[in-house]
């Protein structure tokens, strides 16, 4: 379950990134009337074909986000596109309340300092590097923890979560010792 949450959060991030995310800072407006669908390159038109009939009614900011997303999509290697499609299909199959929860978590993640984001990514990479049986065992241990045990575990990661529990240096250099004893990420 936790692994699927992380994968879904990554899917949200990738989808958000591919579709353009915010075009500009909140409240900022794109200058000018936007572009017509015919002004897009042939490749951009192919990617944005679902929007062809309504393109002219879209606000310029939305057009720009979609166009930027199409450019990023076109720059992706084929394997990454395939993975993004599969993740998006899984995303679409999630119940709306689950998607909303994941959007909220992703937004909280985006608000974290870059060092903290990288620490989380590093822990996720570490967890994914474990054999499937060990990941499953850690998930089970996590599920069997009480809320208080989970809070204590999180506190044991340290006040400054961007610092390595083993070295004290900024950024993780591996899993915390408590994880090596079988605690989940």
For the chain, the domains span: 1-111, 115-185
In this prediction the pTM is 0.52
How much is the pLDDT for 15? 53
Average pLDDT on 108-131 reads 93
What pLDDT band is residue 62 in, cutting at 50, 70 and 90? Answer: very high
Specify the higher pLDDT residue, 170 or 109: 109
pLDDT digits (tens, 9 = 90+) for 63-116: 999 999 999 999 999 999 999 999 999 999 999 999 999 999 999 999 999 999
pLDDT digits (tens, 9 = 90+) for 19-58: 545 444 444 444 567 889 999 999 999 999 999 999 999 9
Q: What is the 3-state secondary structure (H, E, C) of the chain?
A: CHHHHHHHHHHHHHHHHHCCCCCCCCCCCCCCCCCCHHHCCHHHHHHCHHHCCCHHHCCHHHHHHHHHHHHHHHHCCHHHHHHHHHHHHHHHHCCHHHHHHHHHHHHHHHHCCHHHHHHHHHHHHHHHHCCHHHHHHHHHHHHCCCHHHHHHHHHHCCCCCCECCCCCCEECCCCCHHHHCCCCC
């Amino acid at each position: 379950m936790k692994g699927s949450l992380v994968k879904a959060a990554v899917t949200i991030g990738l989808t958000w990134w591919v579709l353009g995310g915010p075009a500009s800072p909140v409240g900022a407006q794109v200058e000018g009337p936007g572009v017509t669908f015919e002004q897009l390159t042939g490749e951009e038109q192919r990617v944005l074909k679902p929007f062809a009939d309504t393109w002219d009614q879209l606000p310029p900011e939305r057009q720009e986000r979609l166009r930027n997303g199409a450019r990023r999509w076109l720059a992706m290697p084929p394997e990454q596109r395939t993975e993004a499609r599969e993740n998006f299909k899984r995303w679409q199959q999630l119940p709306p309340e689950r998607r909303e929860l994941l959007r909220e978590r992703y937004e909280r993640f985006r608000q974290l300092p870059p060092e903290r984001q990288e620490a989380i990514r590093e822990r996720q990479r570490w967890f994914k590097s474990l054999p499937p049986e060990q990941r499953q065992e850690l998930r089970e241990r996590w599920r069997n923890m009480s809320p208080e045990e989970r809070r204590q575990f999180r506190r044991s990661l340290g006040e400054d979560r961007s610092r390595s529990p083993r070295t004290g240096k900024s950024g993780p250099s591996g899993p915390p010792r408590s994880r090596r004893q079988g605690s989940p990420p």
